[in-house]
Amino acid sequence: MREADTGRHRLGGQSGKTDRQNHNMSGLKYHMSLPVSVGVLLVGLPYSISLATQWIYGWPNKPGYKKYIEALKPRRIYCLTKAVLETLKYLQYGRLYFQWKSWYKNDENRKHYEKGIKFGRRSNKLDLYHPPNVGMSKDVPAPLVVFVYGGAWGSGDRSIYCLLARQMAEELSATVICPDYFTYPKGNVLGMVQDIADCLVWAQESGEKFNFDKDNIVLIGHSAGAHLCALTTLFLIDAREELFIEASKLRDISLAIRGVIGLSGVYNIMDHYEHEQKRAVEYVSTMHKAMNGVENFPYYSPTHLLKTLSQDKLNRVPPFVLLHGTNDIIVPFESSIKLSELLTTLSIKVSLHLLPRVDHTEIVTDLMVSDRRFYHCIYSCIKHEYRKLLGTC
C-alpha cells in the first residue's frame, strides 16, 4: 500500500511539474506573440499597404535606386497608409452605387434623358437630361447646365452621375449635360480642356434641336471638374490657340457662360501639390502626370492665369460661385477661400459658401438622392446662386 501511495505521489508530482512547464510555455508564447502582433500591425501592415500602392500607381520620381529609398521612408509609409485606409469610407456608398447602376440601365428612365450623344474631335459622349417641363411650351427654351465630374484627372464616367444630373435638372428647371472627357493616361489636362470646350461648341450648335438656351449656360464642376470648368472658361476668354477652335466660336461660347459653380475645386495646382506632399500621395496621384510635370503647374492653375489676363479680358470673366465643405481633407477649403480673395481683388463677382461638416465626397454624392443628409443644404445654396447668375433672383 505504501509503495502504491508513493507511486501515485511521484506520478502526481510529475504531472504537476508538467502542468507548470506547459503553463510557462504558453505564457512565453503569449509574451512572444504580443510583440510579433504589434510589429505586424505597426510595421508589416503599413509597409505592405504603402509599397503595394506605390507599385501599382507609381514610385517616387527619383533617379535609380533613390526612388526606393524615398518610398521606404517611415513618414511616407505611414502617411500613405493613412490616405489609403481613408478610402475605405467609400464602402458606405455601396447602396448608392447600386441605385445609380440600376437607374442608368433601366430603359424606362430613357424618357428623362438622351443617352450617349457623340460630340467633339475625339468622339466623346454626353448624356442630356431634360428639365421637368419637357414637352410643354417650346416658346421659352430651358437654360443649360453643364456638369463636369471630378476624379483626380484620372478617372470618372458620366453614368456615375446620372442620378445627380436628373435631380439637378429637376431642382434647377434646366437642361443638364454631363459629358465624358479623356482622363489620364488617355489625355492630359490640355486635352481635357479641349473636350469640355468641344462640349460647349456642341451646345452652341444643338440648342434649337434639344430646346435649350445656348446663350444661357452655367458650368458646374466638382473637384478636378471644378478646376476644368474654371480653366476652360479662362482659356476661352483668353482665346487660346491650343484649343483649335475658331475665334468667332470662342467669343460666342465665352459670352454664353453666365457663371461657374465650383464644388470643392482645385484652383492652384502648386498649392494642391504641396497638400498632396503632406499626405504623401503626390507620386501615386495622377495630378502631376496629367499636368505634364511640375513645370506646367502655373500654366494650368486658374489662379495664375487670372493674374496674367488683361483688364479687358478680366471684364469678361463671368461670376464664380464657390462651395466647399469644412470637413474636406482631400482638397482643403482654403483652395476656395484663396480663389475667392483673388477674384475679389480683381473686381470679379464671387460668392463663397463654406459648408459645415461636409466632406469632399458628400458635396457631390448628396446631390444624387433627396434623402441624403446634405441634399437640401447644398441645393439651397446652388439654387439661390444659380438664379442670381441667370438674373432671375
* Cα–Cα distance for residue pair 263/322, rounded to 1 Å: 6
**Residue 17 pLDDT more than 60?**
no
CB 214 within 8 A of CB 203: yes
Report the percent of the chain where pLDDT is more than 70.
87
Report the amino acid identity of residue 20.
R
Q: Which pLDDT tens digit goes with each residue over 71-114? A: 878 888 888 888 888 888 888 899 999 999 999 999 999 999 99
Task: Give φ, ψ of 129 to 5 degrees.
Answer: -105, 130
The per-residue b/e assignment along 322-348, b for 16 or more CB within 10 angstroms, e otherwise, is bbbbeebebbbbebbeebbebbeeeeb
The per-residue b/e assignment along 61-92, b for 16 or more CB within 10 angstroms, e otherwise, is eeeeeebeeebeeeebbbbbbebbeeeeeeee
Question: Mean pLDDT lowest for which of 2-6, 282-286, 320-324?
Answer: 2-6
Predicted confidence at residue 170, as pLDDT, reads 96
Query: Helix, strand, or coil here: 246?
Result: coil
Q: Which residue has the higher pLDDT, 80 or 118?
A: 118
**Residue 259 pLDDT more than 90?**
yes
Q: CA geometry: angle at 339 spanning 228 and 271, to 5°?
A: 75
CB 146 within 8 A of CB 220: yes
* Cα–Cα distance for residue pair 167/159, rounded to 1 Å: 14
**Residue 30 pLDDT more than 50?**
no
**Residue 39 pLDDT more than 50?**
no
**Residue 36 pLDDT more than 80?**
no
Predicted confidence at residue 19, as pLDDT, reads 53
Q: Which pLDDT tens digit goes with each residue over 160-215? A: 999 999 999 999 999 999 999 999 999 999 999 999 999 999 999 999 999 999 99
pTM for the full model? Answer: 0.87
Report the percent of the chain where pLDDT is more than 90.
72
Query: Helix, strand, or coil here: 300?
Result: coil
Average pLDDT over residues 309-324: 98
Angstrom CA distances, 230 to 136, 184, 225, 388, stand at: 34, 19, 9, 18
Q: Which residue has the higher pLDDT, 13 or 308?
A: 308
Q: What's the chain's average pLDDT?
A: 89
Average pLDDT over residues 276-280: 93
Q: Which residue has the higher pLDDT, 8 or 386?
A: 386
| Structural domains for the chain | 2-87 (no CATH), 106-390 (3.40.50.1820)
**Residue 136 pLDDT more than 90?**
no
Band (67; pLDDT cuts 50, 70, 90): confident
**Residue 41 pLDDT more than 70?**
no
Predicted confidence at residue 40, as pLDDT, reads 46
* Cα–Cα distance for residue pair 225/282, rounded to 1 Å: 19
DSSP3 helix / strand / coil % (the chain, rounded to 5): 55, 15, 30
- Report the half-sphere exposure of 22 (CA within 13 A, side-chain side): 6
- Report the half-sphere exposure of 259 (CA within 13 A, side-chain side): 20
Average pLDDT over residues 251-256: 96
Q: Which pLDDT tens digit goes with each residue over 219-244? A: 999 999 999 999 999 999 999 999 99
